[in-house]
Amino acid sequence: MDLSPALIARCESKCELCGSTDALVAYRVKPKSGLHLDHQIATCAICSDLLDHPEKTNVDHWRCLNESIWSITPAVQVVSYRILNKLRDQAWALDLLGMIDLDAAVLEWAHDEEAGVIDAVHKDANGALLLQGDSVVLIQDLNVKGANFVAKRGTSIRRITLVNGNPEQIEGKVNDQHIVILTKYVKKVNPA
């Protein structure tokens, strides 16, 4: 899809993911449809090919997300977040996911089931949707295997990480230890 003059102006004739100026095209961010500027990003041929063929993985190329995730453009944030989620096995990607604090609407778009990019929907014990970076509280005492402590009921866990492919697990820090927690033992804390 060709770039509109408005998209060219916003991206300053550079790929909004990696900064390349070669062979730019417009990429529609699913599940949005139509040609609305807010639902598109400008991508180079390499980024576009990798986005269209997710089975191709170029971890080194996606290191550019260290910059693009901080974009003020929600569509760029959504695509960057989705790619980082697929690269969670890379320490740098997981660290970056732990640092970002995206707007709730951006996270919902990134996790939209219709887009088919996030493998599993995570819900707390009450059925509330859990998103990357949410805060939760434990609803019962949990023995932490291999750590020799009990995570007490009422313990707050901030900036959780979702376990891709397993909707029953999240990750977070308790007593300065990174642990896996079953979602049925947590309740989402709504921001004040």
Average pLDDT for 89-102 = 84
Q: Which position has the token pair 């014990």?
A: 125
Terminal-to-terminal C-alpha distance of the chain = 42
Whether 102 shows a pLDDT value over 60: the answer reads: yes
Average pLDDT for 78-83 = 92
Average pLDDT for 102-117 = 75
Q: Which pair of tokens denotes residue 80?
A: 């960057």
Q: Using omega within 30 degrees of 0 as the cis cutoff, is the peptide bond preceding 31 cis?
A: yes
Half-sphere exposure of 103 (CA within 13 A, CB side): 12
- Helices 91-99 and 74-86: angle between axes, nearest 10 degrees: 140
Q: How many CB atoms lie within 10 A of CB 86?
A: 16
Residues 6+ apart with CB under 8 A from 55: none
User: What is the rounded distance in angstroms from the CA atom of residue 182 to the CA atom of residue 192?
Assistant: 24
Please, which pLDDT band fits residue 116 given cuts at 50, 70 and 90? low
Average pLDDT for 26-36 = 81
pTM over 0.75: no
User: What is the rounded distance in angstroms from the CA atom of residue 59 to the CA atom of residue 57?
Assistant: 6
34-74 pLDDT, tens digit per residue, is 678 888 999 999 999 999 887 787 899 999 999 999 999 99
161-182 pLDDT, tens digit per residue, is 888 778 888 998 998 888 889 9
User: What is the rounded distance in angstroms from the CA atom of residue 178 to the CA atom of residue 101?
Assistant: 19
Q: Are 14 and 21 in contact (CB under 8 A)?
A: yes
Among residues 69, 74, 54, 56, which one has the least CA distance to residue 119? 54
Average pLDDT for 84-97 = 85
